[in-house]
Amino acid sequence: MRLAVIAAAMAATVLTGCATEQKAPPARFNRDPYPTTYRVYPGVPTLLKGATVLDGAGGRIDGGDVLIADGKVQAIGRGLSAPVGAVVVDASGKYVTPGVIDIHSHLGNYPSPGVQAHDDGNEATAPARPEVWAEHSVWPQDPGFSRALANGGVTTLQVLPGSANLFGGRSVTLKNVPARTAMGMKFPGAPYGLKMACGENPKRVYGSKGQIPSTRMGNIAVTRQTWLQAQAYKRKWDNYEAKGGDAPDRDLAMDTLRGVLAGDILVQNHCYRADEMAIMIDLAREMGYKISAFHHAVESYKIADLLQREGICSAMWADWYGFKMESYDAIRENVALVDKAGACAIVHSDDPNGIQRLYQEAGKAIAAGRRAGVPISEEHAWTWLSANPAKAMGIFDRTGSLAPGKMADVVLWNGNPFSTYTRPERVWIDGALMYDANNPRLRPVSDFELGQPGEGDVK
Amino acid sequence: MSRALVLAALLLGGAVPASAETIAIVRGTVAIGDGSAPIPNGTVVVRDGRVVAAGTGVAVPAGARVIDAAGKWVTPGIVAGFSRLGLSDVDAVDSATDISSDGPFSAALDIAPAINPNAQPVAVNRADGVTRAIVAPGVGKSIFAGQGALIDTAVHASAITRARLFQYVELGETGAEQAGGSRAAAHVLLRNALREAAEVGRGVTIAGSGTERNPLDPDNQPVVRNPNESRLYDSRRSQDVLLTRFDAAALVPVVQGRQILMIHAERAADIRQVIALGREFPRLKLVLVGADEGWTVAAELAQSGIPVIASAMSDLPSGFESIAATQSNIGRMRAAGVKVAIGTINDDDTRMAFRARNYAGNLVALTRVPGAAGLSWGEALAMVTSRPAEAVGLGSEIGSLQAGRRGDVVIWSADPLDNMAAAETVLIDGVEQPLVTRQTRLRDRYQDLTPGVLPPAYRR
């Protein structure tokens, strides 16, 4: 038992004035020991006028206006009038969307330059490492963040541990605003995610060390055994937090898994193959948790009906394939076919280059779908980049669409935002203008690039 | 030949599709691929496997099969400027990958016999309009990776257009690592190898200042086209050698300037060393690959005349040799007069060459970003068609729709540099290719998940 907890328990005993040998009342430990220090930068009330507005939740307004002020979306519609002192931007011929949300990134924990000293994404020392937290690896000076902002219009991203482990650890959701610390980028109030993995990676990493898991069945066995441990831990702690008494020992790994079983932490499950996804769905039901999204779900199209029934999102690429055995069956219609089945489709990157072109990847997915006879509107396709990832990350009540009252995470695009010919012109995060293509001063430069060739250049 | 027949031929064991016919593609938006702007309502005529004419006012020959391309775009096939296409079925499966070798040989390695025309990535790229690919080996235990080739992506027995087109060398971070941990060591290894090759090639001077012996003496003109057939193995060598005889013989064409020496370097200082190498050994036919920091030495590169095959979208300081990387690199080098082409260098190079046309489109996008350097549409297309062909000395053979070029033609549903476009017809050497792949078959199998009377395994 931690001293602090003992002290708290003793203090509680004294305060209640109990002299008898009664159970100590429960003490709740701090669930948020590394709280966000993110600050919203000042913004100017801004009215974007006459744009094609894709609201991110499936709505579209041609010749539409978006008003942002006080860090929030204030109004969206036609013919909005500008408040006194507001900046008015003529957005005719351009598109306005909510910022792109990447549900799968390793910016910060596999940063550039990709040297061994920066290799902070996989705690590949045991197959179950739910005790590690990605935020403790994130290097906020990764130059990749600025590219994702300026070239990709990315305003929010989830940084995950890697997939060497069955349980990779906790993810962290960041606002793409430069800060001196990872805590300074943490999305206020975003739930944690738990990175899990099936398939080739865990069995390869540990099989090559001569330990379990070395097979897919080994993967599942270790995963199940770990959840059984978590259930026992949860029983103990739930009991203590309800009734008090001697506080059980804390275990960081089990804290995370207990958070999942309690529904506070969202499972983000790296899983390529359809048959393995189906096993993970059974496993989640057996152990009493829900999978929020399958990541790299290249075979979701084979079980889109199942994923629809289970309400599980698929985070997918447009055309990446064949880099490993479990990606051999990737097809270009994957996103469209998942979407067509009524399941939740997300376009993700997992890559510091890909994150700069997620909007173009969505464009490719639309094109492949339409060729296969799946009608997909632009306004619907933008849900793959904002509403759906926001839902799967538990932040849709705050961002992911241009609804009044939501965070003003907004991109003004200089053309159709699914085209290779289009780039962000301006990006606002919480109503603050963080990138403006026409203003070289509004281009963040990481500490790493300061004083180096190409500092402050367009990238 | 209909697609069904082509497919049937495929299923019957890799039979060659129909022989080259006379084809006239009419009414399309035609882009020649030489940097010029697209031509509305143009005609392209292909006969005997070659382009006869392309543009406006082109007559349709009698008896030609006419393809109406109204509303569509017609371009030369995409040329993968740098790739490992055909060398791997699945990257992470060692047994299915032939990119590099840890065996005893380096420069002598010839990737031609390792190319698998039936590899799925070949089919996937063919179906997306990639018709030729410059294919390089990767280094194993030396700065020399071996000899790369130009291949096509057609359905036939041999994909090789030109075997042993170039020797591939790593001189940047990877070269330093291969040489024992230092760029200095890589440079000594390179020069020593050239010296040993020169010795094998008796009397062939490699330094500009050297004295030529009687050039009419056949011994002074040894031609090593393939180290396996070399007559030079018995030539005298000193005891002071590092290279195997095979490897030294393989470098003879390089020192004689008959085979391209393709060098990978990214850092400005490394690029300057490549330029200096060209001055030190004027007979070398150099091609630079990578050049992330090329824009910072663009004037020197332009003056050197060394062609560059660069990654279009590389904009991260991914290592200490790419600190100044920017997407404006190609546009700036081009503006300075460097001969540039787009390649997918260490960028999913076994499989994703089809992305090159979207990368080219992104360089067009940069023309609208203040402070960035982009390309015109015509020039962007050239970067993935004629420019890579020219970089390896085959501009008169492939990469454009100018008369006499090989009949590699693609009809696209829309502007091919944007990502809504798909290849609808692909000709290679004038022969229409099947566009069915495992991916399209899987799509067809699972497009409708309604339970049937039999499992999906029976749907084909």
The per-residue pLDDT string of chain B (460 residues; one tens digit each, 9 = 90 and over) reads 444 444 444 444 444 455 779 999 999 999 999 999 999 999 999 999 999 999 999 999 999 999 999 999 999 999 999 999 999 999 999 999 999 999 999 999 999 999 999 999 999 999 999 999 999 999 999 999 999 999 999 999 899 999 999 999 999 999 999 999 999 999 999 999 999 998 887 644 444 434 444 444 544 455 566 655 555 555 567 778 899 989 999 999 999 999 999 999 999 999 999 999 999 999 999 999 999 999 999 999 999 999 999 999 999 999 999 999 999 999 999 999 999 999 999 899 999 999 999 999 999 999 999 999 999 999 999 999 999 999 999 999 999 999 999 999 999 999 999 999 999 999 999 999 999 999 999 999 999 999 999 999 999 9
Chains A, B: CB contacts within 8 A come to 164
pLDDT of residue B240: 80
pLDDT of residue A444: 97
Which residues on chain B are in Cβ contact (under 8 Å) with A113? 317-320, 322
The CA-based angle A66-A68-A69, given to 5 degrees, is: 155
pLDDT of residue B235: 57
Nearest CB among B296, B348, B421 relative to A453 is that of B296
Q: Is the CB of residue A64 less than 8 Å from the CB of residue A275?
A: no
Q: State the smallest CA–CA distance between residue B193 and chain A in angstroms.
A: 30
Amino acid at B389: A
Which residues on chain B are in Cβ contact (under 8 Å) with A437? 369-370
pLDDT of residue B225: 60
Q: What is the mean pLDDT of residues A176-185?
A: 98
Sorting pLDDT into bands at 50, 70 and 90, what band is A20? low
Q: What is the mean pLDDT of residues A17-21?
A: 53
Which residues on chain B are in Cβ contact (under 8 Å) with A330? 439
Question: What chain A residue is nearest to B332 in terms of C-alpha separation?
Answer: A458
Query: Which CATH superfamily includes the segment(s) A46-449?
Result: Metal-dependent hydrolases (3.20.20.140)
Q: Please tell me what DSSP assigns to residue A188.
A: T
Contact B317 A322 (CB under 8 A): no
Nearest CB among A322, A353, A420 relative to B365 is that of A420
Which residues on chain B are in Cβ contact (under 8 Å) with A324? 90-93
Q: State the smallest CA–CA distance between residue A215 and chain B in angstroms.
A: 16
CA dihedral angle for residue B275, residue B281, residue B284, residue B287, rounded to 10 degrees: -10
Nearest CB among A337, A420, A453 relative to B324 is that of A453
Within 8 A by CB and 6+ apart from A285, the residues are none
* Per-residue CA distances from B428 to A291, B378, B436 (Å): 47, 22, 15
Domains of chain B, earliest start first = 3-76+409-445 (2.30.40.10), 78-391 (3.20.20.140)
pLDDT of residue B18: 59
Contact B319 A449 (CB under 8 A): no
Nearest CB among B318, B350, B447 relative to A372 is that of B447
Nearest CB among A357, A437, A459 relative to B370 is that of A437
Interface confidence, given as ipTM, is 0.93
Residue B175, sorted as left (phi over 0), alpha (psi -120 to 50) or beta, turns out to be: alpha
**d(C-alpha B193, C-alpha B144), whole Å:** 9
Q: What is the mean pLDDT of residues A441-459?
A: 97
Which residues on chain A are in Cβ contact (under 8 Å) with B417? 420-421
| Domain chopping of chain A, boundaries | 46-449
Q: State the smallest CA–CA distance between residue B442 and chain A in angstroms.
A: 7
Q: State the smallest CA–CA distance between residue A33 and chain B in angstroms.
A: 33
- Mutation pick from B118, B128, B443, B444 vs chain A, by most beta carbons of A within 10 Å, is B443
Question: What chain B residue is nearest to A453 in terms of C-alpha separation?
Answer: B324
Which residues on chain B are in Cβ contact (under 8 Å) with A305? 449
Contact B369 A423 (CB under 8 A): yes
Q: State the smallest CA–CA distance between residue B419 and chain A in angstroms.
A: 5
As to burial, measured by CB atoms within 10 angstroms (0-12 exposed, 13-18 middle, 19+ buried), residue A290 is middle
- Strands A410-413, A95-98: pairing is antiparallel
**d(C-alpha A193, C-alpha A387), whole Å:** 17
Q: State the smallest CA–CA distance between residue B24 and chain A in angstroms.
A: 25
Contact A322 B369 (CB under 8 A): no
Q: Is A386 helix (H, G, I), strand (E, B) or coil?
A: coil
Residue B170, sorted as left (phi over 0), alpha (psi -120 to 50) or beta, turns out to be: beta
Nearest CB among B90, B364, B442 relative to A421 is that of B364
Tens of pLDDT, residues A207-256: 999 999 999 999 999 999 999 999 999 999 999 999 999 999 999 999 99
- Mutation pick from A420, A438, A443, A459 vs chain B, by most beta carbons of B within 10 Å, is A420
Nearest CB among A323, A364, A423 relative to B348 is that of A323
Q: How many CA atoms lie within 13 A of A312 on its CB side?
A: 32
Nearest CB among A322, A423, A458 relative to B328 is that of A458
- Mutation pick from A118, A378, A458 vs chain B, by most beta carbons of B within 10 Å, is A458
Q: Is the CB of residue A227 less than 8 Å from the CB of residue A257?
A: yes
pLDDT of residue B234: 53
Q: State the smallest CA–CA distance between residue B414 and chain A in angstroms.
A: 11
Which residues on chain B are in Cβ contact (under 8 Å) with A452? 317, 323-324
Question: What chain B residue is nearest to A330 in terms of C-alpha separation?
Answer: B439
Tens of pLDDT, residues A310-367: 999 999 999 999 999 999 999 999 999 999 999 999 999 999 999 999 999 999 999 9
* Per-residue CA distances from A113 to A178, B103, B402 (Å): 17, 31, 43
Q: State the smallest CA–CA distance between residue B354 and chain A in angstroms.
A: 10
Contact B316 A320 (CB under 8 A): no
Which residues on chain B are in Cβ contact (under 8 Å) with A422? 365
pLDDT of residue A34: 98
Q: Is the CB of residue B423 less than 8 Å from the CB of residue B72?
A: no
* Per-residue CA distances from A280 to A166, A218, A285, A439 (Å): 12, 13, 9, 48
Contact A423 B327 (CB under 8 A): no
Task: List the beta bridge partners of residue A373.
Answer: none
**Listed residue (B207, B173, B169, B209) closest to B189, CA to CA:** B169
Within 8 A by CB and 6+ apart from B400, the residues are B32, B33, B34, B76, B382, B385, B386, B389
Q: State the smallest CA–CA distance between residue A79 and chain B in angstroms.
A: 28
Contact B419 A371 (CB under 8 A): no
Q: State the smallest CA–CA distance between residue B333 and chain A in angstroms.
A: 15
CA dihedral angle for residue B17, residue B22, residue B27, residue B31, rounded to 10 degrees: 70
pLDDT of residue A268: 98
pTM of this structure: 0.93
